[in-house]
Amino acid sequence: MIPLMEFGNTAHKSTRTIFGGAAFWTVTQNEADRTLDLLLKYGINHIDTAASYGDSELRIGPWMREHRKTFFLATKTEKRTYLEAKEELYKSLDRLKVDYVDLWQMHNLVNPDQWQTAQNEGGTIDAFIEAKEAGLVRYIGVTGHGLAAPLRHLQSLKKYKFNSVLLPYNFILMQNEKYALEFKNLEDFCINNNVAVQTIKTIAKGPLGDKKSKHAVWYDPLEDSKSITNAVHWSMSNPNIFINTVGDIHLLPHVLEAASNFESQPSDEIMLADIKKNEITQLFKGDEI
C-alpha cells in the first residue's frame, strides 16, 4: 500500500500519491469507474480535480454517493474575481454531487496581474474566505505551473494562511539551481508553517514540441515502467511532499505501482542515465508561467 502522511495542518492523513483528476478530461464513465477500482486497490484516499479539467468533476461525482467518506476531495478554480469564483464553486459542488469540498484551490495563480486581482479585495480570496466560513470548503490552497511558481506561492502564503500549495517537481527540474533554491525556500516555509506541498510533473520527459501525444497530457511523459519507477521514487524520497499522479489513465497504473513499492532514492547516476536514455529535457523554459 502507498504510505500516508499528514496533509499539512488539515488533520487528514493523505496517501503520498494523490489522484490527479486531470486524467478524466475526456474519459467515459465506465473508464472512470474502472479507475476507481484501481484507486481503491492501492488505498488512494485523496482526489485532486478542477473545474477546468473537462468532464473530470462529472466523472467523479457519481462516486460520491458511496465513497464520499473515502476521499479527501479537492477541486480548483481559475476565476480571479469574487463573483466568478463563487459561481464556479457552486457549479463544482453540483457536478461533484457534494455539499462541500475538503480543499478549494486557486488554480495556476502565477501571473503577477492575475495574482493582484485574485488576492485583493473583490478578488477570488473573498470568495474563498466566504466559502470557508459557510462550510462549503474546509481548507484552501493555491497551485501553479512553471518556474515562477515557488516565488509566487511564497508571496501567497505570506499574504494569507493557505493550507496547501502545488507546483512542479522532478529530478531534471531540480537541476535548475535557481528553481531548486526557490523550491527549497518555499518548502522550508511550508514545513515551518505546516502547509502541505503537492507536486506535479513527476514523470515529465519534456515538452511535446511538434509531436502529437498518444497520452492525455500536454507534455511528453515517460512511458516505460522502470523509468517511471525511478522518477516516482526520486520524488518520493523527499519526505515533505505529495505526488499528484499523471493526467492519463493508461500511465496511472505504473505510477501507483511505483509508489506502492517505494523504498529508497535512486542514485544520481541512475537518474542521469535515464535522462540520456529517454532524452529528457527541461519542460519549462526561461521564466514562463
Q: How far is CA 8 from CA 29, 178, 186, 189, 278, in A?
A: 32, 25, 14, 12, 35
Beta strand 17-20 with 241-244: parallel, antiparallel or unpaired? parallel
Give CA–CA dist 3/12, Å, rounded.
Answer: 13
Confidence of residue 289 (pLDDT cuts 50, 70, 90): very low
Is there a contact between 162 and 198 (Cβ–Cβ < 8 Å)?
no
CATH code matching the domain that covers 4-278, chosen among 1.10.3720.10, 2.60.40.10, 3.20.20.370, 3.20.20.100: 3.20.20.100
Instruction: Check whether 19 has a pLDDT greater than 60.
Output: yes
Is there a contact between 77 and 89 (Cβ–Cβ < 8 Å)?
yes
Interval 157-205: pLDDT, tens: 999 999 999 999 999 999 999 999 999 999 999 999 999 999 999 999 9
Confidence of residue 287 (pLDDT cuts 50, 70, 90): low
3-state secondary structure of 256: helix
pLDDT value for 286: 63
